[in-house]
């Protein structure tokens, strides 16, 4: 093996570890959404089930949280993108000596902890609310308003960074050209600057929505009567989690992958159109350009289609598939296993006790020279085979009673059964 | 051909803080003229253009277009159209949308715009290219689209800010002719900004030579080349040999100048400085390389110069001789090539002759940087 080969192999190994670290938790969590145990786990695999999705959609609080998160997300997108755009434009127009200072001020909210922003938003708007003489149920102390305002304070800064990057590539002469050709400032903004900024505005919107959707630190102070999804999840986790949360997480992962693939396919397609334009004749440009089919040479588009077909099949089969029989089987099997384990334990104990008693009996015989049938040994008769026999009978009765109990846990939680094991 | 609309600059001052970009400019541009501002970069010529187009308010003085004072009127209300140095075509619009942007602003229908765009595309010799994006055109084609876009707004005055500077030499020369033809065809006033004297001389009716915010001379190209008003104009426009010295004697329209190293030389006083040059004044005398010719070595006189040859070169149409000149600058002589034999004179003294009428004297002043 040459050094070259070793390096190549170690790079692959490294990549493997890296991606396992990156994606492993997501994969495992996704798998738990389809496993039937009520605690999210991948092994042992019991039954394929889609019930957790049903459970998720029956959970009023989660649904309400999603709806609130979407409301807050859209509000935050509108607020932060417009503030970010204004900030970015200001940065390019401001007197150069002030630029560095202005930049620092506008970027500061990113550096301030979200908790601080949350508290200060709450305190500030509460003061404003009181100054205006409004009650506790006014618009200004409404959780929706406070959450949007609070999140926008720092998400606007992210948006500004995205928009500034695009704006720096904008040639101010374009605006001047538009003005020179008779456009008003508003027309120049709308017809020349905005179309140029559109890609950045779209990506800033996506960024703002995602940042808002996943925000917890700030929201936890401001949500009021509008708990968002993150808040609801955090509150749920306190009472223990179920695979329904895995199901939600799986759906988010699937949607993310879906949109990422769509985006990728779109970029690829645009590139192909540009290439086709380059080769097109003047006549073709005026009419319709011959562009290769949607999926040709576009792996991302193929992946999207495969994904959509996959989701459709799974959903369709989930409608008809019922894991009840499997779950019942598993429960039955579990019960049998538990019984078997109890039986084994019991047998082992009995055997141990018998061995011990035999050894003791031999020893006692040697010392006392005569067996004592009466129960007056120094050990209170616990080692007497008869006594054991009696208890064993009692235990097997109870065991029989236990096996008639049809609980899914094979009676492991039956206090009597535990009492038996302890003996 | 319409008479066109004239542009006047009256006592125009433009200051940025303490910096004076334009100092007391007074220019009258006749309607329908092709007028150039010629000067090195940073001389304030673009500033003047921005003041005419309305992007900049003058600190003092007025801009008049067609006799109307433009004070307080924004660029979108002025009858001017500007062609930017980098063209500033809208990158996301197709060529036809770019060209008819001014019509879109005015609310014209897509059908009318399309029709007008096709007419203009025919005029700029790009028929059928309307559906391309600007990025899909070549430099020269983009150039013509920018012109069409400006013309589509039907301006009275077209302003051009060094529009050819980004093109390669061949294309630049071709576009010069084309621009001049377009100007003649549409008959509107063109104001052209350039630092390239070749562009200014070939295209313009009149040229204003600018230096550090000051307009040195306004005249047609021939006058500026042959009869410069200042040392700067003489040295900036075309190649020129300078002789520094003092006025020894004024004889009517001629001056005898005691030069620092070439003896007493006689020259014509430039028209703008007639009667202004007095005995004892510092003066500069300029002779073009092509106005000098070889004379028998050692000839003395007030129109003969003797100097040592540094080196020579053959340029095809001319033999160039570089001789020790005044103030560290070399004296260049261009001898037309008629197929005569030519020997190397490096290191030897040579005597040159000129016609007094071809030498021009101006008061001493700042020279153009090389």
Distance from CA of A166 to the nearest CA of B (A): 14
- Inter-chain contact B101–A181, Cβ cutoff 8 Å? yes
- B18 with B188: CB under 8 angstroms? no
What mean pLDDT is predicted for residues A366-376? 51
User: What is the Cα–Cα distance from B196 to B45, expressed in whole angstroms?
Assistant: 13
The pTM score is 0.71
The pLDDT tens digits of the residues spanning A180-190 come to 888 888 999 99
The pLDDT tens digits of the residues spanning A176-217 come to 899 888 888 899 999 999 999 999 999 999 999 999 988 898
The confidence score (pLDDT) of residue A420 equals 45
C-alpha distance across the termini of chain B, in Å: 41
Cβ neighbours for B210, distance < 8 A, ≥ 6 positions apart: B37, B38, B39, B43, B44, B45, B48, B216
Closest residue in A to B107 (Cα–Cα)? A183
- Inter-chain contact B153–A182, Cβ cutoff 8 Å? yes
What mean pLDDT is predicted for residues A163-169? 90
The confidence score (pLDDT) of residue A385 equals 53
What mean pLDDT is predicted for residues A233-258? 83
Is residue A280 less than 8 Å (CB to CB) from chain B?
A: no
The pLDDT tens digits of the residues spanning B277-287 come to 888 888 899 99
What mean pLDDT is predicted for residues A76-104? 89
Evaluated on CA atoms A157, A158, A163, A168, the torsion sign reads positive
What mean pLDDT is predicted for residues A247-256? 86
pLDDT at residue A1 above 70?
no
Compute CA distances B345 → A420, B303, B316, whole Å. 126, 21, 18
The pLDDT tens digits of the residues spanning B117-168 come to 888 888 888 888 888 888 888 888 888 899 889 888 888 899 998 888 877 8
pLDDT at residue A391 above 50?
no
- Inter-chain contact B88–A282, Cβ cutoff 8 Å? no
- Inter-chain contact A181–B149, Cβ cutoff 8 Å? yes
Q: Is B256 exposed, middle or buried (0-12, 13-18, 19+ CB in 10 A)?
A: middle
pLDDT range class, residue A386, cuts 50, 70, 90: low
Is residue A285 less than 8 Å (CB to CB) from chain B?
A: yes
Q: Is B167 exposed, middle or buried (0-12, 13-18, 19+ CB in 10 A)?
A: middle
Distance from CA of A118 to the nearest CA of B (A): 41
Is residue B131 less than 8 Å (CB to CB) from chain A?
A: yes
The pLDDT tens digits of the residues spanning B189-242 come to 999 999 888 888 888 899 999 988 888 899 988 899 988 999 999 888 888 888
Closest residue in B to A177 (Cα–Cα)? B88
pLDDT range class, residue A402, cuts 50, 70, 90: very low
**Mean pLDDT of all residues belonging to chain A:** 79
- A408 with A335: CB under 8 angstroms? yes
pLDDT range class, residue A13, cuts 50, 70, 90: very high
pLDDT at residue B310 above 60?
yes
What mean pLDDT is predicted for residues B88-113? 89
pLDDT at residue A12 above 90?
yes
pLDDT at residue A294 above 70?
no
Other CB atoms within a 10 A radius of the CB of residue B286 amount to 23
Give the residue from B79, B105, B118, B141 with the most A CB atoms within 10 Å of its CB, the best one to mutate.
B105
Strand B7-16 to strand B60-65: parallel, antiparallel, or no bridges (unpaired)? antiparallel
Give the residue from A177, A193, A194, A270 with the most B CB atoms within 10 Å of its CB, the best one to mutate.
A177
Can you list the domains of chain B with their CATH numbers?
Answer: 7-226 (3.40.50.300), 239-363 (2.40.50.100)
What mean pLDDT is predicted for residues A247-269? 86
The pLDDT tens digits of the residues spanning B342-356 come to 777 788 888 888 888
Give the residue from A173, A174, A182 with the most B CB atoms within 10 Å of its CB, the best one to mutate.
A182
Is residue B305 less than 8 Å (CB to CB) from chain A?
A: no
Phi, psi of B366 (to 5 degrees): -70, 140
Give the residue from B52, B53, B82, B113 with the most A CB atoms within 10 Å of its CB, the best one to mutate.
B82
Is residue B104 less than 8 Å (CB to CB) from chain A?
A: yes
pLDDT range class, residue A395, cuts 50, 70, 90: very low
- Inter-chain contact B91–A286, Cβ cutoff 8 Å? no
Question: Which two structure tokens, joined as six digits, stand for B367?
Answer: 């020279």
List of chain B residues whose C-beta atoms are within 8 Å of the C-beta of residue A191: 101, 104-105
User: What is the Cα–Cα distance from B258 to B262, expressed in whole angstroms?
Assistant: 8
The confidence score (pLDDT) of residue B56 equals 87
Count Cβ–Cβ pairs < 8 Å, chain A vs chain B. 73
What mean pLDDT is predicted for residues A62-87? 91
What share of chain A in percent tops pLDDT 90? Answer: 19
The confidence score (pLDDT) of residue B199 equals 86
Respond yes or no on whether the N-terminal peptide bond of residue B160 is cis (omega within 30° of 0). no
Distance from CA of B105 to the nearest CA of A (A): 6
What share of chain B in percent tops pLDDT 90? Answer: 7
List of chain B residues whose C-beta atoms are within 8 Å of the C-beta of residue A275: none
The confidence score (pLDDT) of residue A283 equals 61
The confidence score (pLDDT) of residue A300 equals 77
What mean pLDDT is predicted for residues A143-152? 88
Give the nearest partner residue to A285 out of B54, B91, B132, using CB atoms.
B132
pLDDT range class, residue A290, cuts 50, 70, 90: low
pLDDT at residue B109 above 70?
yes
pLDDT at residue A398 above 70?
no
pLDDT at residue A221 above 90?
no
pLDDT range class, residue A157, cuts 50, 70, 90: very high
Phi, psi of A367 (to 5 degrees): -85, -55
The confidence score (pLDDT) of residue A368 equals 52
Q: In whole angstroms, how large is the CA radius of gyration of chain A?
A: 35
């Amino acid at each position: 093996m040459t050094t070259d080969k070793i390096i190549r192999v170690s790079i692959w190994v490294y990549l493997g570890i890296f991606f396992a670290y990156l994606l492993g938790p997501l994969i495992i969590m996704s798998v738990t959404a389809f496993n039937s145990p009520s605690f999210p786990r991948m092994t042992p695999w019991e039954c394929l089930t889609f019930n957790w999705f049903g459970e998720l959609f029956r959970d009023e609080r989660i649904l309400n949280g999603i709806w609130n998160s979407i409301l807050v997300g859209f509000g935050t997108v509108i607020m932060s993108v417009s503030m970010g755009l204004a900030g970015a434009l200001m940065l390019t127009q401001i007197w150069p000596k002030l630029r560095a200072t202005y930049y620092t001020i506008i970027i500061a909210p990113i550096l301030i902890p979200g908790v601080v922003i949350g508290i200060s938003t709450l305190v500030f708007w509460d003061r404003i609310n009181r100054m205006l003489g409004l009650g506790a149920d006014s618009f200004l102390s409404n959780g929706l308003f406070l959450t949007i305002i609070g999140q926008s304070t720092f998400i606007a800064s992210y948006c500004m960074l995205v928009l500034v990057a695009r704006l720096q590539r904008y040639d101010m002469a374009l605006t001047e050209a538009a003005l020179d050709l008779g456009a008003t400032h508003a027309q120049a903004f709308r017809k020349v600057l905005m179309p140029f900024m559109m890609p950045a505005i779209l990506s800033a919107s996506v960024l703002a929505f995602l940042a808002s959707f996943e925000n917890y630190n700030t929201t936890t102070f401001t949500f009021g009567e509008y708990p968002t999804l993150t808040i609801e999840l955090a509150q749920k986790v306190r009472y223990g989690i179920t695979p329904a949360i895995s199901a939600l997480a799986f759906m988010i992962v699937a949607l993310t992958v879906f949109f990422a693939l769509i985006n990728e396919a779109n970029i690829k397609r645009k590139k192909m159109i540009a290439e086709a334009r380059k080769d097109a004749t003047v006549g073709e440009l005026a009419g319709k350009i011959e562009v290769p089919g949607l999926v040709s040479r576009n792996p991302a588009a193929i992946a999207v289609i495969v994904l959509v077909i996959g989701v459709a099949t799974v959903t369709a089969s989930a409608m008809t598939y019922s894991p009840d029989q499997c779950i019942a089987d598993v429960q039955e099997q579990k019960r049998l296993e538990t019984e078997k384990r109890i039986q084994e334990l019991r047998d082992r104990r009995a055997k141990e006790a018998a061995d011990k008693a035999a050894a003791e009996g031999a020893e006692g015989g040697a010392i006392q020279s005569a067996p004592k049938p009466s129960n007056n040994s120094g050990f209170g008769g616990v080692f007497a085979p008869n006594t054991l026999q009696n208890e064993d009978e009692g235990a097997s009765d109870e065991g029989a009673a236990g096996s008639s109990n049809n609980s899914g846990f094979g009676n492991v939680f039956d206090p009597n059964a535990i009492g038996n094991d302890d003996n | 051909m319409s008479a066109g609309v004239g542009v006047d600059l009256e006592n125009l001052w433009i200051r940025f803080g303490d910096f004076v970009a334009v100092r007391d400019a007074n220019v009258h541009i006749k309607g329908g003229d092709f007028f150039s501002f010629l000067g090195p970069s940073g001389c304030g010529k673009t500033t003047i253009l921005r003041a005419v187009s309305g992007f900049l308010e003058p600190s003092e003085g007025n801009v008049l277009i067609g006799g109307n004072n433009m004070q307080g009127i924004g660029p979108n209300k002025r009858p001017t159209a500007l062609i930017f140095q980098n063209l500033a075509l809208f990158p996301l619009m197709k060529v036809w949308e770019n060209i008819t942007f001014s019509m879109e602003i005015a609310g014209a229908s897509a059908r009318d715009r399309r029709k007008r765009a096709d007419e203009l595309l025919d005029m700029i010799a790009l028929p059928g290219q309307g559906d391309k994006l600007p990025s899909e055109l070549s430099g020269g084609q983009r150039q013509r689209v920018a012109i069409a876009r400006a013309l589509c707004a039907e301006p009275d005055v077209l302003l051009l800010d060094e529009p050819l500077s980004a093109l390669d030499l061949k294309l630049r020369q071709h576009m010069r002719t084309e621009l001049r033809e377009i100007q003649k065809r549409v008959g509107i006033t063109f104001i052209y900004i350039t630092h390239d004297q070749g562009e200014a001389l070939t295209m313009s009716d009149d040229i204003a030579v600018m230096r550090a915010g000051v307009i040195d001379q306004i005249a047609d190209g021939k006058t500026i080349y042959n009869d410069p008003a200042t040392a700067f104009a003489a040295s900036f426009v075309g190649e020129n040999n300078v002789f520094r010295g003092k006025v020894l004697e004024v004889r009517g329209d001629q001056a005898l100048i005691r030069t620092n190293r070439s003896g007493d030389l006689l020259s014509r006083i430039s028209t703008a400085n007639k009667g202004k040059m007095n005995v004892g004044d510092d003066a500069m005398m300029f002779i073009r390389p092509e106005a000098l010719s070889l004379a028998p070595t050692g000839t003395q006189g007030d129109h003969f110069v003797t100097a040592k040859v540094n080196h020579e070169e053959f340029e095809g149409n001319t033999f160039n001789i570089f001789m020790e000149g005044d103030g560290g600058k070399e004296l260049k002589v261009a001898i037309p090539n008629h197929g005569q034999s030519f020997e190397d004179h490096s290191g030897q003294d040579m005597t040159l002759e000129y016609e007094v009428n071809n030498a021009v004297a101006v008061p001493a002043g700042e020279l153009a940087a090389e």
